[in-house]
Amino acid sequence: MSIDTSAPSPTPANAVPKPLVDVRNLSVTFTKKTLFRPTRTVRAVNDVTFQIPAGQTLGLVGESGSGKSTTGRALLRLVPITTGTASINGNDMAAQSGSRLREARRDMQMIFQDPYSSLDPSATVGASIAEPMLVHEKVSSRTAANRTKELLDLVGLRPSHVNRYPYEFSGGQRQRIAIARALALNPKFIVCDEAVSALDVSTQNQVINLLEDLREQFQLTYLFIAHDLAIVRHISHSVAVMYLGRIVETGPAERIYNSPAHPYTQALLSAIPDASRNRKRRERIVLAGDLPDPSDPPTGCPFQTRCPYVMEICRTENPPMTEVLAGGSVACHLQTAGPTLSGESLPDPADMPHLSPAPGAS
């Protein structure tokens, strides 16, 4: 058994790739029990919808606690789906159970933030990579060993490293081992959950380049989760921005970076240092307050407690997702009821006297 290294068939220039991942109205709710407070319900993921065409990458970004990782885990059914559907390669993961769920999971894998905790420290890297093949494909030990060496070579490590242990490798090398293990069953879809966030900048670039090369070589589809838009920019075809369990903006990566339509996206982008000569200069936007408690979200728009553009309608009505002229969609009253057209660059709040200031804003 060997890895299929043949080049994927070219896609016609005018063809729209069929979504491999189709998520509709996905919600994940947890019950939070505490010793001195009543039981509370936390909607970690709230009515999320997105699609990822086969062979492409969707970057999912937002602050810690926004629901990104829970969304990725729900797609693989590592946490239960409360409502909605998550179709991956034609299988609705919300409807799978038992042997059908195990079979469906063969087409998908997850790469975690900390490769050391996701690798068994008592097992050699060869054993960790070979285990999925031995368990799920029932291949011989020799076949698994040969393929393990091929996978190590594929991710830029020496085949002779099979007998080493995780502690003998650097963080970047351990993440390459985790990638090799994720490829062991020839998946079609991989969730990269903060896969490079714990690495230094130079190693981040190396791992991102590796992931991109593998995507092109094997027509992989990625959900790339990160809190840093600068990291996502180099690998994503499209971007979805999450805030308090909801997606507030989606669109082609270039449109998101060049013309953000949501104030939260604008704030995230303003934090990216960029010395390039062609980049339009943006003043740093410092948001007031912290992410609200997901068990007690604000009424109206979930971002209204921190938004520098907040209007009265924002305090009472949750904005629907509205199409953006340059591609994608946004959930923002400013783009529908406000003085701007959908998808236009947002003006300085000081130039918009009709706006009511957000709590804590100067």
Q: pLDDT tens digits for 247-274?
A: 999 999 999 998 899 999 999 998 887 6
Q: Alpha helix (H) ranges present in 16-122?
A: 68-75, 98-104, 115-118
CA–CA distance from 187 to each of 103, 106, 195 (Å)?
12, 6, 17
Ordered domains of the chain (ranges, CATH): 19-236 (3.40.50.300), 261-328+336-362 (no CATH)
pLDDT of residue 336: 72
Count the neighbouring beta carbons within 10 Å of the beta carbon of residue 104. 19
pLDDT digits (tens, 9 = 90+) for 96-142: 988 899 888 889 999 998 877 889 999 999 999 999 999 888 889 99
278-303: average pLDDT: 80
Which amino acid appears at position 285 of this protein?
A: I
Q: What is the mean pLDDT of the chain?
A: 86
* Average pLDDT score over residue span 65-77: 95
* pLDDT of the residue at 345: 55
Of 334 and 188, the one with more pLDDT: 188
- How far CA 342 is from CA of 8, 200, 321, 334, 337, in Å, comes to 37, 37, 11, 8, 10
Give which of 287, 154, 144 is closest to 217, Cα–Cα: 154
11 confidence band (pLDDT: 50, 70, 90)? very low
The more confident residue out of 169 and 362 is 169
Tell me which DSSP letter residue 134 carries: I
